[in-house]
Amino acid sequence: MNLVRHEAGFSTTENRFPTKGTCLAIYSRCVNAELAIEEVLGMTFPWCSSWSVELKGLFSAYVEAKLAQNVLDYDDLLLHWAQMLGDLGLAEHMGNRFDHVLVDEYQDTNRLQAAIIFALKPGGRGVTVVGDDAQSIYSFRAATVRNILDFPAQFTPPAEIVTLDRNYRSTQSILAAANGVIDLAAERFTKNLWSDRNSGARPQLVDVRDEADQAGYIADRVLENRETGSLLKQQAVLFRHTVVEKTSGASVISSTDLNPMPLCPMDGGDEVSDLFASDRASWGWPWNCSFSCSETCLRSSTTASSGTSCFSRSSRPSRPENGRIWVLSGDQAGGLRKRLNQLVDEVDDFLEVSRARRGTPWRLVRAAEKIPRRAL
């Protein structure tokens, strides 16, 4: 998207054109919410409304670039799946292959994903969704709480609702506060959370000015607890966003002047991305190519060149003149697998060193575990 944006001249406009991230967010919401760009801009990105015509042209160029390279993004995977199920015969064939369709976190699904579910099982038989309308907070990829609220009435007879109201993690005092907030919802599924875990401590609602003040407040409470006998390693801070994590981590460390501190604001994601990006650049791969590790050629009309057991700058896969897909021979595919496994080992070693330096093995998430070796 950024390169298409730059080639279209939008990176040098007199008035600030929406950034790459904003353009991708607008495009994704149009696809997943199944709304016209004017509606999306008006409801979610009103400051970009004056660029609607230019954004339409940008998105058209973005789609053409993907088609020219024979690649799909995540939104395309959902869109093409839903469009494929628009064929009733094909939808029935696919739906009959599955006795049961189970969907987790249904409150975080969008209209496009719901359309896929109803196309697979239009009668509803065998469909089970799990979710909590009270946890519809972030609206990932245009997720809408209407999916879960309207789900029972989508079928005849209506779907059965099974309420799981017992909580095994929190104490009753925290659940009482949560129930009070949930009761304020204008529309919801009725439930009353409970637990047999009791605590004399009541949750506190604290108002702070910004993230820095929030981090400072947390640091002060941690130090107060330490003075009353709670060791640092016995305390934990729970949150969701990485931005908050980094801000809180910097404040806690600077406020306490302790070394080591049992807080590690790192998940390894950026480091892994940098490692793969640098290694990809060293092989000389351009930005606009996609890869296949299959043992056969992607196009029967193109013959792959003979490869070696591992890639090097002088041994790259052949590229057909009429397309932008690298074609791998069997040896080259094996070499790619070997190199990817080497990268996983390098990432693993890097994270081990980082974990040792920080002295907090209980906190660090080892990103290398997210890359299943069997998939390579």
* Among the listed residues 27, 111, 37, 40, the one whose alpha carbon sits nearest the alpha carbon of residue 66: 27
Tell me the C-alpha distance between 56 and 71, whole Å: 20
Tokens 């890639």, residue located? 311
**Are residues 295 and 370 located together in one domain of the fold?**
yes
**Are residues 183 and 219 located together in one domain of the fold?**
no
**Are residues 193 and 233 located together in one domain of the fold?**
no
Whether 106 contacts 99, CB under 8 Å: no
Tally of structural domains, the chain? 5
Which residues of the chain have a pLDDT value below 50?
A: 253-261, 264-268, 287-317, 319-325, 359-376
Residue at 60: amino acid letter: S
The predicted pLDDT at position 330 comes to 60
Tell me the C-alpha distance between 316 and 332, whole Å: 8
Tell me whether residue 360 is in a domain: yes
> Where a domain ends, among 162, 182, 205?
205
Tell me whether residue 160 is in a domain: no
**Are residues 124 and 193 located together in one domain of the fold?**
no
Tell me whether residue 219 is in a domain: yes
**Are residues 196 and 216 located together in one domain of the fold?**
no
Q: State pLDDT tens for residues 105-140.
A: 999 999 999 999 999 999 999 999 999 999 998 788
**Residue 319 in 3-state DSSP?**
coil
Phi, psi of 201 (to 5 degrees): -75, 135
Q: State pLDDT tens for residues 181-230.
A: 999 999 999 999 999 998 888 898 899 998 888 888 988 998 999 999 99
**Are residues 348 and 317 located together in one domain of the fold?**
yes
Q: How far is CA 251 from CA 21, 255, 357, in A?
A: 28, 6, 19
Residues 6+ apart with CB under 8 A from 73: 66
**Are residues 31 and 53 located together in one domain of the fold?**
yes
Q: Is the Cα dihedral 358, 359, 361, 362 positive or negative?
A: negative
Tell me whether residue 262 is in a domain: no
Tell me whether residue 78 is in a domain: no
Tell me whether residue 220 is in a domain: yes
**Are residues 138 and 111 located together in one domain of the fold?**
yes
**Are residues 305 and 369 located together in one domain of the fold?**
yes
**Are residues 369 and 295 located together in one domain of the fold?**
yes
Q: How far is CA 291 from CA 143, 230, 333, in A?
A: 31, 53, 10
Tell me the C-alpha distance between 63 and 4, whole Å: 10
**Are residues 65 and 110 located together in one domain of the fold?**
no
Tell me the C-alpha distance between 200 and 216, whole Å: 26
Tell me whether residue 80 is in a domain: no
CB neighbours of residue 156 within 10 Å: 8
Report residue 48 as tokens: 């970009």
Q: How far is CA 24 from CA 18, 21, 58, 202, 234, in A?
A: 10, 5, 10, 42, 42
**Are residues 198 and 215 located together in one domain of the fold?**
no
The predicted pLDDT at position 211 comes to 81
Tell me whether residue 162 is in a domain: no
Look at strands 127-129 and 101-103 and give their pairing. Answer: parallel
Tell me the C-alpha distance between 78 and 47, whole Å: 28
Distance of CA 373 to the CA centre of its chain: 21
Q: Which domain holds residue 199?
A: 170-205
